[in-house]
Structure 1
Amino acid sequence: MKEIWNGRLDGWEQCDLRIWQVIKDINEFSKTDKGSKFAFIGYNTDTGVKRNLGRVGAAKGSDEIRKGLKSLPAIENTTLYDYKNLKEFSTEKAQEEYSYKVKDAFDKNIFPIGLGGGHDIVYGTYSGIRKSHPNKKIGIINFDAHLDNRPYDNGRTSGTSFKEILDNDKNVKYAIVGFQKAGNTKRLIDTANAHNVLILPEAIEESRINDYLREFIKDVDIVYVTFCMDVFDAAIAPGVSAPTPLGLDSKKGRNILLSILGSNKVVALDFAEVNPDYDIDSRTAKLTARLIYEAIDNLKK
């Protein structure tokens, strides 16, 4: 990872440091490490995207997000780790490997941040949370243009995670922020309604979305937030598997995320579908990195 974790050098005094200068390999973890602890876990596969007939390339997203993070200023009172990337790439095996990395992070009292990769990362993150919190009521908040609740009879894809989770775990609630009616068939919407999904379209004003989510969060024990970066307008985030015209504004998305984090119930966060092959000037990767940076700066408080 040294070829990625390097960047602009202003000096080695504390006030000059950038993320690439302070991040640690997970093998360097110590219980005596100071401050709030966060880990980047790469989900560097897009097999699920290919199965879902999407445009491939998101497998490269994990490292591209790291590049977006590396020269951002170091965040005080935190220790950052890199869990590196996956060894398994087929969807089911990748999800299982990823879930154990998430559980290991919990065991070490580290907050996991996923870097994807296909949005099938969701099932991996959920599985890791469930391994560590078998009896907690989980609220999953998905920033996404698409419901991702397709049938999984023929195997998992980037669009099946939520249906499989909701079908098999009655102690989970699901909310989607940035929903686009034009991106979802009637069957997908009917399936969501049958599972009592809280659907919050992109057009709803920010304050109302926050109000709905506050009520949603009250009814759960812990919260997991996931971003499919195609939730954002295609002009802002062109480097995704399925770009969205008239998508969510980035500042609105950031503000909603920070409001959710203010609940003090969020235990995991991930970002998916960053596809460098279609990005322009690394806009999508840089936006993802900025959201991660602001999330860490908020959570460490």
Structure 2
Amino acid sequence: MTLYKRANLKLWNGRSSGKELYWHEIVEAFNPEKAFKVDNRTIVFLGYQCDEGVRRNQGRPGTKKGPNAIRLQLGGLSNHFKVNTNLLDAGDIIVDDEDMEAGHEMVSQKVKDLLDIGAFPILFGGGHDLAYAHFSGLRRHIGDSSSIGIVNLDAHFDLRKPDSRSTSGTPFYEILSEDTLANYLCLGIQKAANNAELFEAAHQFGVHYLNMYQYQLANWYHITAELSSFIDSVDHIYLTIDLDGFASAYAPGVSAPSPMGFDPHLAYKTIQTVRSSGKLRSADIVELNPKYDIDNSTARLAARMVHALAEG
């Protein structure tokens, strides 16, 4: 069964200032029937509580609890918004059985609805199968005549061909197979974590990518050149951040941890570059698995990435 659950603002807590110095003091529950101030910037969070895609991909279940784990770390973030900002929590789409496809349809419609009213959606996974649903909602909003560039911070291509059903390892194969105006850039690819068939699929689809040795701060000049070229080639950008792309020293609480990977400072600079392009339409953070987290370090990292997305 797939259901929609409205926001629980009790998850947003932290130090109280009485002066709106912290996010928990300004966040509100999103109500589609209540008009927000249209002259404000509007950021809307939406959770995707689902383990099914990870389970189908033979990963470690537990990502279903990711959205709320992120919220618990967001409330205490400092409020440095320099313009009026609507910070809204739209609640969660919850998949309680194997019917992940119903969850995808609900996510797609919610993303379209949020974009249609001028909001900037930031989604919390859940497995990376969320990308297929998220992209579909963005496409429904934009229409069929504009190109969408996908920037994925990840150790994996997620270009597996579905056997019969989608998994957390298939979203970009499905997107690129169905959408001729989709372009894909993946940053942080680990050769040991992607078999030869996945590299061949990347070649066939014309995927742009940098491996984990190329995607390092010391190589920032070349990274920003690759990013800028990719951004210039598309009309809109969808940014997706898979937490398993970070080295496990930073992100132990993920479905597929690795001792190799990129660091938070590089991810932050990448977010800044994409954000400053003016083409970023929506973003998500996926694969947080609180069951394996240590002192909430991965959830805290996810929250900082959300902060980096929202502050600009």
TM-score normalised according to structure 1 size? 0.95
Match of 1:127 among 106, 126, 136: 136
Matches within 5 A, 1:261-300: 261-298=275-312
Matched, 1:117 2:122: no
Q: By how many angstroms is 1:246 displaced?
A: 1.5
CA distance in 2, matches of 1:52, 1:133: 30
CA distance in 2, matches of 1:196, 1:273: 25
State whether residues 50 and 94 of structure 2, in contact with CA within 8 Å, keep that contact through their aligned partners in structure 1: no
Unaligned runs of at least 5 residues, structure 1: none
For residue 105 of structure 2, the aligned residue among 93, 96, 100 is 96
Secondary structure of the structure 2 residue equivalent to 1:281: coil
What do residues 65-124 of structure 1 show as CA deviations (whole Å, max 9, x unaligned)?
A: 111111111242211111101144432111111111111111111000010111111011
Q: Distance between the aligned counterparts of 1:180 and 1:30, measured in 2?
A: 45
Deviation at 1:34, TM superposition (A): 5.0
In 2, the alpha carbon distance for the partners of 1:8 and 1:99 equals 35
Q: Quick one: which of 251, 255, 258 aligns to 1:237? A: 251
CA drift at 1:233: 0.3
CA contact (8 A) 2:271 2:308 kept: no
2:157 partner letter: L
Structure 1: which amino acid aligns with 2:29?
A: D
Residue of structure 2 in register with 1:177 after alignment: 187
d(CA) in 2 for partners of 1:92, 1:283: 31
Q: Structure 2: which amino acid aligns with 1:92? A: E
Aligned to 2:5: none
Whole-angstrom distance in 1 between the partners of 2:48 and 2:23: 20
Of 49, 53, 74, 2:79 maps to 74
**Paired residue type of 2:237:** V
Partner of 1:21: 25
Q: CA RMSD in A?
A: 1.3
**Distance between the aligned counterparts of 1:69 and 1:20, measured in 2?**
8
SS in 2 for 1:224: strand
Q: Distance in 1 between matches of 2:105 and 2:250?
A: 32
> Could you give the per-residue CA deviations for residues 189-216 of structure 1, whole angstroms, max 9, x where no partner exists?
1001100000111211222111111111
Large movers: runs of 4+ above 6 Å = none
Provide, for residues 182-239 of structure 1, a one-character-per-residue CA deviation record: whole Å limited to 9, x for no partner.
1000001100110000011121122211111111111100000001100000110000
Distance 2:121 2:38 in 1: 16
How big is each residue's C-alpha offset from its partner over 1:150-173, in whole Å with a ceiling of 9 and x where there is no partner? 111310000101001111111110
C-alpha distance in 2, partners of 1:250/1:225?
16
Check if 1:57 corresponds to 2:62. Answer: yes
TM-score (norm 2): 0.92
Q: Say if 1:206 and 1:256, in contact at 8 Å, map to a contact too.
A: no
How far off is 1:141 after superposition?
A: 0.6
Q: Bigger shift: 34-43 or 182-191?
A: 34-43
Cα distance in 2 for residues equivalent to 1:219 and 1:2? 40
Give the structure 1 partner of residue 3 of structure 2.
Answer: none
CA distance in 2, matches of 1:186, 1:253: 26
Structure 2 equivalent of residue 198 of structure 1: 208
The residue that corresponds to 1:210 in the other structure is: 224
Partner of 2:42: 37
Shift of 1:19: 1.0
2:238–2:281: 8 Å Cα contact kept in structure 1?
Answer: yes
Task: Tell me if structure 1 keeps the 8 A contact 2:49–2:94.
Answer: no
Rounded to whole Å, the distance in 2 between the matches of 1:233 and 1:207 is 22
- Relative to 1, partners in 2 of residues 1:61 and 1:74: Cα closer, same or farther, differing over 3 Å? same
Structure-1 separation of matches of 2:25 and 2:95: 29
Q: Distance in 2 between matches of 1:13 and 1:216?
A: 41
Alignment partner, residue 48 of structure 1:
53
- The answer as to whether partners of 1:34 and 1:79 remain within 8 angstroms in 2 is no
Asked if the contact 2:48–2:94 (Cα under 8 Å) also holds between the matched residues in 1, the reply is no
Q: CA deviation at 1:33?
A: 5.4
2:91 match: 84
